[in-house]
């Protein structure tokens, strides 16, 4: 693939790649850095890339791997700072319970009946996608899509509530 073709393909799909990276990494800056790293890793291989579809697939895979690596590097065992260390266990349990209630409220308020049922069957009762699909007389893909949408809705609403506080 020529230099110009690869650059134009990459530029055209930049927003999509950023969304992928931001799904894994916490900030837009980190996502943009990961995207640049992915492009830099693929640049030396540009002559072996034959099509736009291959460029997209390679970039997506490389980007996800870079994001996962960055996430793993951040998960370092640290000693909590004094303020956090001094909190009593009771306060932590209250915080956890409060967060749980917020999420429960979002589930009850924002999700459809079907999404609630799928979420309960999958995350609480531990059913497989196949079992849920059979129980609800629908396809596994529909179950996966509904579960994904439900989780995204919960996450977005929770983040919004946290920011508003």
Q: Domains in the chain, start-ordered, CATH in brackets?
A: 3-74 (1.10.1740), 105-164 (1.10.10.10)
Instruction: Please compute the mean of the pLDDT values over residues 98-116 and round it to a whole number.
Output: 90
The overall average pLDDT reported for the chain is 85
Q: What is the pTM of this model?
A: 0.45
Q: 144 vs 22, 130, 149, CA distance in Å?
A: 21, 10, 9
Tokens 């209630």 belong to: 101
Each residue's pLDDT tens digit, 123-135: 888 899 999 999 9
Query: Could you give the CA distance from residue 10 to residue 38 in angstroms, rounded to a whole number?
Result: 11
The whole-number pLDDT of residue 81 equals 56
Q: 116 vs 97, 125, 132, 152, CA distance in Å?
A: 20, 12, 12, 13
The whole-number pLDDT of residue 45 equals 86
């Amino acid at each position: 693939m020529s230099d110009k073709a690869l650059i134009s393909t990459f530029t055209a799909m930049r927003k999509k790649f950023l969304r992928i990276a931001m799904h894994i990494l916490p900030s837009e800056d980190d996502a943009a850095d990961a995207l640049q790293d992915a492009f830099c890793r693929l640049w030396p291989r540009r002559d072996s890339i034959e099509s736009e579809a291959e460029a997209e697939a390679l970039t997506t895979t490389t980007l996800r791997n870079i994001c996962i690596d960055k996430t793993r590097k951040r998960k370092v065992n640290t000693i909590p700072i004094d303020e956090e260390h001094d909190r009593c266990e009771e306060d932590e349990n209250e915080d956890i319970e409060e967060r749980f209630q917020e999420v429960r409220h979002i589930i009850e308020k924002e999700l459809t009946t079907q999404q609630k049922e799928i979420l309960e069957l999958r995350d609480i009762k531990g059913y497989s996608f196949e079992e849920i699909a059979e129980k609800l007389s629908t396809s596994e893909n529909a179950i996966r899509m509904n579960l994904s949408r439900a989780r995204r809705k919960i996450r977005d609403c929770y983040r919004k509530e946290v920011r508003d506080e």
